[in-house]
Amino acid sequence: MRKFLTWFPAAAFLGMAILIISKTVKVPVWIAYMCMSLAVIISPIVKKILLGLGIGKRRVRNLRACISILLIASTFLINSSKLPIWNENGDGVELSQLEEPVSVREKGKTEETNRVSGSKYNADIHKGVSAVREGISDRIDAFVDEAAAAVDEVDAGNEESEEESADQQEHLREVTLVRVVDGDTLIVDCDGDQVRVRLLEVDTPESVHVDSSRNNEYGTMASDFTKLYLKNKTTLYLSYDEEKEDLYGRTLAYVWMSKDVNIENREDIETYMLNAILIKEGMARVTVYAPNDHYQNIMEELQQKAQEDRVGLWKYDEYWKITQNIQEDEMTP
């Protein structure tokens, strides 16, 4: 055993020498290991051969020391070398890789697999993002097209509305207010002629009837309202229904405070038509004589709201009774 330990450095050196050779010659590593084992076995024989050659023991010890130094140096060089060593599969690997634990090699494989998988995942994400961007771009284009079509439609509708409004304005007759007769009757100047205008679809209580018994305070209140409302109005506009005159020769009309109106628009009707304003403010009741009934539905809705809110004359119970009596008389043949 002592002899084995003595010559083991020399045997190991021989094995390392074979490893160095295997780095440049395609010799499998297992052959190098076998040669190293063989060197260990024959080391005693080498010693006898050296002694038989007349080399003294002292020289043999010196040779062994030199061999040990060379072993250390060669081992350092081999460990720091990046040259490949050929394994049993004929694959070139570094010496440091021969000593790597299995876990380290598996970790390397896992990292490589993750890198490949990550690259594929990133590629899939890139494809997905590209698809999403293309989808969003398509949706934006579609939205822009729809918006453009909607704008064109609105423009066309505005043009039609403007044309319709222009046509309606042509049907509005401009007149000049002369005076207010009572709540639902006016005198206007039309092309130099004074014309008595009776408001369509409304009826206010009497205030200047030739039969004074038919006049009442509610009629005076309605007349004052109309006068006050038209106090600063000089120019008015008339629109007509099916009949332009009644049996008494009065002009039947809807009276507007502005020419820039849509005579079919509910908001314009409630804001600019005197007939509707009287109903809305509770200063008149709805009275319709066919075929002049163009705004009947709107008028009745406005009257119902005024009655519910008890505005204007509807706040007085006596006015309710007078109105009811008038309606009964109108229904009597």
Active site residues: 198, 206, 250
Q: Which residue has the tokens 């453009």?
A: 148
From the number of C-beta atoms within 10 Å of its C-beta (0-12, 13-18, 19+), residue 253 rates as buried
The answer to whether the beta carbons of residues 227 and 182 sit under 8 Å apart is no
Nearest one of 242, 216, 190 to 316, comparing CA atoms? 216
State both tokens at 56: 């003294």
From the number of C-beta atoms within 10 Å of its C-beta (0-12, 13-18, 19+), residue 218 rates as buried
Question: What percentage of the chain's residues is helix, strand, coil (to nearest 5)?
Answer: 60, 15, 25
Instruction: Compute how many other C-beta atoms are within 10 angstroms of the C-beta atom of residue 314.
Output: 19
Q: Does an H or E element contain 300, and which? A: helix 296-309
The answer to whether the beta carbons of residues 51 and 12 sit under 8 Å apart is no
Distances (CA, A) of 161 to 84, 167, 182, 210: 90, 10, 36, 46
State both tokens at 324: 């009811």
Phi/psi for 189 (5° steps) reads -100, 120
In whole angstroms, give the CA distance from residue 134 to residue 154. Answer: 30
Instruction: Compute how many other C-beta atoms are within 10 angstroms of the C-beta atom of residue 302.
Output: 23
In whole angstroms, give the CA distance from residue 271 to residue 252. Answer: 20
Distances (CA, A) of 67 to 49, 63, 72, 75, 329: 16, 6, 9, 12, 145
